[in-house]
Copies of this chain bind each other. A is one copy, B any other.
Amino acid sequence: MGKPVLGHLDPEFISIMDETSAALREVFQTTNQLTFPVSGTGSAGAEAALVNMIDPGDRIVVGVAGVFGARLVEMARRAGGIVTEVTAPWGMPVPTEKVAEAVRRRGAKIVAIVHAETSTGMRQPVDEIRRAIGDDPILIVDAVTSLGGIEVDVDSWGIDVCFSGTQKCLSVPPGLAPITFSPRAEWKLETRATPVQSWYFDARLLRSYWEDVEHRRAYHHTAPISMVYGLHEGLRLVLQEGLDARWARHHDAGRFLRNALLERDFELIAADGYRLPQLTAVRLPKGSDDSLRGDLLREFDIEVGGGLGEFAGVAWRIGLMGLGARRQHALRLIQALDALM
């Protein structure tokens, strides 16, 4: 990211853009042509996905089992979508059959769901959703906290729009939101009834910058050049390690941490079988309180996320993501907890 800033239409930078899109396709496991980083953080990816797919009045079913599902609802409403929420208790996945049932009942054209719910540490089995809803609805998946940490298989899972963030399992500083659109999603872009409400996130306009159209690139906005350098290098490291090896490393570190926390009377929030290795959400043992997080930061330079939403003050979210997904990092935390508690 410290390299000299090239112009956003410099041929050398366009090569870096092309390599970044190609690497993103590998990491998303897709052949989708329209694949690029949105110039904003993960939430910008969510908004880009929704505003591009929703025409005002479109019916959309959104799975909600935490803060980030609720955020999709809020964004979908602001985009003019008629939202049906399918909920689950926090920590549980959204029941696949309830999603499918809501789609049928409401005649919904779009389904949006979170793959890795960062507020609870829950993994949603996304592949089951497509099988249950059939071929027609557009399926939008929030892979902010999953991409590069656990399997995300855009094409074989039948995802139409998948977005992520750079700062989770890709181990790149925050600032970009990788996104990919299937041919069906591109068809929706072409056949929308109304212009996308956001000019900045309009995927058709962004396409003319990220892809050759008549052998040239059109200026849309100035890309965050240094951030693209960072993502380019981060993706190189992901692919050098290999997706399978990377997922295995996340699983190993997550299991190690989970077991150590259980031994210390922490209570896991996500249901058995649906636990993310990269993000472990726990209730504190009886008698401990949230101020421990401050001690961890001050005395041990270890940052643990606080509870979000209904878990504020009573739960922690412990990330072992990207380069940090190693037993040695989990062990540092456990040793610090043993010293403090």
Contact surface of A with B, Cβ cutoff 8 Å: 1-2, 5, 7-10, 39-44, 47, 71, 74-75, 77-79, 165, 167, 173-175, 195-200, 219-227, 230, 297, 303, 305-306, 308
Once the chains are docked, how many angstroms separate the CA of A304 from the CA of B183?
Answer: 36
Selected from B2, B39, B78, B297, the residue in CB contact (under 8 A) with A41 is B39
The 8 Å CB contact of A224, one of B75, B175, B198, B220, is B175
Total copies of the chain: 2
Whether the pair A44, B223 counts as a contact (CB closer than 8 A) is no
Task: Assess whether A43 is in contact with B199, with CB atoms less than 8 Å apart.
Answer: yes
Question: Can you spell out 20 A-B residue pairs with CB atoms less than 8 angstroms apart?
Answer: A5-B173, A5-B174, A8-B174, A39-B41, A40-B44, A42-B221, A71-B199, A74-B199, A78-B197, A174-B223, A174-B224, A174-B225, A175-B224, A175-B226, A197-B197, A197-B198, A198-B198, A219-B308, A224-B227, A226-B226
> Given A78-B195, A227-B175, A230-B226, does the pair A200, B303 have CB atoms closer than 8 Å?
no
B residues in contact with A7, CB < 8 Å: 303, 305
| Min C-beta distance of A37 to chain B, whole Å | 12
Question: Contact at B222–A165, with CB atoms within 8 Å?
Answer: yes
Given that A174-B224, A195-B78, A222-B165 are known contacts, is A200 also in contact with B43, CB under 8 Å in the complex?
Answer: yes
Q: Is the CB of A303 within 8 A of B8?
A: no
Contact of A10 among B75, B165, B297 (CB under 8 A): B297
A275 → chain B, closest Cβ, in Å? 23
Contact across chains for A197 and B79 when beta carbons are under 8 A apart: yes
Shortest CB distance A241–B (Å): 20
- Contacts A199-B47, A226-B173, A303-B10 given; does A39 touch B40 at CB 8 Å: yes
